[in-house]
Amino acid sequence: MDEQTRKFVEILNRLKRGAVEGKVLWEHTSVGAKQYRAPLDQGFHAVVAEAPSGASVIFTMTNGQGLQTIYLDSALLSDDLLRLALFQLYTTVRNTLSDRIAGEALDALKGL
């Protein structure tokens, strides 16, 4: 694994860990798409999404000026570890957000 790939895996793993620990707050960005966005430090944003075909996962990161700094598409990656890290981030974000939303809904109905 080259140095750039190692850094990408570390970025994805940190975002996954942040989602699990509640330090990175992801939000669902649209009604029909399976796309999630999280604000990060220094104006950066991360987005992880299922591709429209459903056959891959896409990750992008933009800086404070809105310029894309990272673009990863699981269908285009040759490194298995990087592809695995990308899939794990997507499923962790999706599941964590679903659990949080369900918990908030239950809290809203406590008095009933």
The H-or-E segment that residue 92 falls in is helix 80-108
Average pLDDT score over residue span 17-42: 91
Average pLDDT score over residue span 1-27: 95
pLDDT at residue 92, rounded to an integer: 96
Task: Tell me which long-range contacts 48-52 makes (C-beta under 8 A, separation of at least 24).
Answer: 48/15, 48/86, 48/89, 48/90, 48/93, 49/90, 50/90, 51/75
Per-residue pLDDT reduced to its tens digit, 30-56: 777 799 999 999 999 999 999 888 889
Q: For 35, phi and psi rounded to 5 degrees? A: -130, 135
- Give residue limits of the domains in the chain: 3-108
How many angstroms separate the CA atoms of 51 and 31, rounded? Answer: 15
Asked if CATH classification 3.40.50 holds for the domain at 3-108, the reply, yes or no, is: no
Task: Tell me which long-range contacts 71-76 makes (C-beta under 8 A, separation of at least 24).
Answer: 72/8, 72/12, 75/51
pLDDT at residue 89, rounded to an integer: 97
